[in-house]
Every structure is written in structure tokens, then in C-alpha cells.
Amino acid sequence: MNPSRIVREEDLAHCTTGQFLELLKALTMILTLPQSAADEVEALVVATGQGEDWRLTHAIRTWEANPKLRHLLVANGNPAEKTYVEITLDHLRSLGLRRAEGVHVQAEPAPNTGLQAAWIADQVRARGITSLALTVSPYHLARVYLTVLRAFNRSGMRLPVIPLPVAVSPDLPVPETGATAYDLVPGEARRILAYLDEGWVATPAELQDYLRWLWSRHRALLVGPDRAR
């Protein structure tokens, strides 16, 4: 199943109020996780795609500014996209990368978010990573977060995943389609609903259970050790 990235309002007419409420709750609760916690995690993860170099430049700036980060995981994109660029260290250096030690790039193409998430889960397990921040464009954040969470669940892993949305204007056209974030959000919503049926993203119940665990076990990471007492 591969729903279009750009959909019209009428294309969502079959969705129920309950489904939209679950989407709204999921996005809201993901965003309750403070971005400041990203300063304390072990790894930074970026999912590439849509010709959005700003995903990479945002991640690289964060990586270079925070020596506490031990790993930078860069998931590859879809070669079928007209804006696809092979991700290499040389390409990352052209975007500002200076600290190459600890940078790991997905060697094989990843035509969809599920393959990116599976690679991320494999890297986390292989490298013993215990916490990470996930950086991606805001309109894409909920779907990537839920897909990564589902991959971790399948692998029997549970670790703090902090959302770190890219700082980018929602009016900026995405290179692959020329659409803005406003245009793309409905398609993201449709994909999440479709992928729930396929088991490719975490369910609302799985997300709620995960966030309950995260807030109870890692409150100090989320709010700081002084406020966690």
C-alpha cells in the first residue's frame, strides 16, 4: 500500500471522527516530550528523503554542537525519488560535517520509512545504544516516530526516543513535490491510518503504553535531574 503524499480533503471523507482524534492525540502526546532532552541522549538519528537537505543540515549542526552525542545514524532514502542523492560521508561533509567518528550511514537504499526504521533498530541493537533523538521534518514526524517505535517493539527493545523536529518553515516547498508542509500533512495522516491496518506503525495503545513507561522510567532525562525529584 502506498497512499499518495498529497491528498484532498474529500479523500479523507471515509475516516471517522474517532480515527482523527486518535491521530491528534498521538501527535500531541509525542510533542509533550521536551526537545531539551535531546541534549542528553547517546545518538542522533535522521531519516532522509524528499530532497530535504534541511533534515541533514539540522542533524549535522546538532551533532557538531553536542559532543555528548556518540552516534549519528543517517538512514538512506528512496532512489525512485527524482531528488534522491546517495548518502556518503563526502556528501555529509559538503553539508558541514566535520566530526566523522561515530557517523553511520545506511548503505543500502531505503524506499520506505519501514526499511529506514528496521535499519535504525538494527543499528541500535548492534551498537548498544540506550537513548536517541529522532530528527525529521515536522510534517513527517508523527509517522516516522510511530514507525520507529513499531520497529523497536518488534525487536523487543525499549529505549528513550526524543522527537527533534527540524527547524524549517511550513511554507517552504519540499523539493521532491513542490508542496508545502501544509499540503503534505493530510497525506501523512492518510498513510498513518493505512499503515495501522498493515501493522507498520505503533498503535495508539502501544504509543500510550510506551509514553507511560518513558515518563515513569526516564523522568530525569525528560525534565532534568533536579526537577525529577
Tens digit of each residue's pLDDT (9 = 90 or more) over 61-70: 999 999 999 9
pLDDT band at 144 (very low <50, low <70, confident <90, very high): very high
Report pLDDT digits (tens) over 20-79.
889 899 999 999 999 999 999 999 999 999 999 999 999 999 999 999 999 999 999 999
CATH number at residue 200: 3.40.50
In-domain check, residue 42: yes
In-domain check, residue 227: no
Rounded to two decimals, the pTM is 0.93
Specify the pLDDT at position 137.
Answer: 97
In-domain check, residue 228: no
- Return the closest-CA partner of residue 12 out of 188, 221, 147, 157: 188
Inter-CA distances, 87 with 91, 104, 155, 156, 163, Å: 6, 10, 26, 29, 22
Specify the pLDDT at position 3.
Answer: 45
Report pLDDT digits (tens) over 204-221.
999 999 999 999 999 999
In-domain check, residue 55: yes
Radius of gyration of the chain (CA): 17
pLDDT band at 89 (very low <50, low <70, confident <90, very high): very high
In-domain check, residue 229: no
In-domain check, residue 105: yes
- Domain with 131, as residue range(s), is 15-219
Helix (H, G, I), strand (E, B) or coil at 180: coil
In-domain check, residue 9: no
In-domain check, residue 1: no
The 3-class SS string of 193-204 reads: HHHHHHCCCCCH
Cell of 186: 493530510
Length of the chain: 229
Specify the pLDDT at position 229.
Answer: 66
105 forms beta bridges with 74
Specify the pLDDT at position 226.
Answer: 73
What's the number of domains the chain is made of? Answer: 1
Indicate if the pLDDT at residue 196 is higher than 70.
yes
Helix (H, G, I), strand (E, B) or coil at 147: helix
Helix (H, G, I), strand (E, B) or coil at 208: helix
Q: What does the alpha-carbon distance between residue 212 and residue 152 come to, in Å, rounded to a whole number?
A: 16
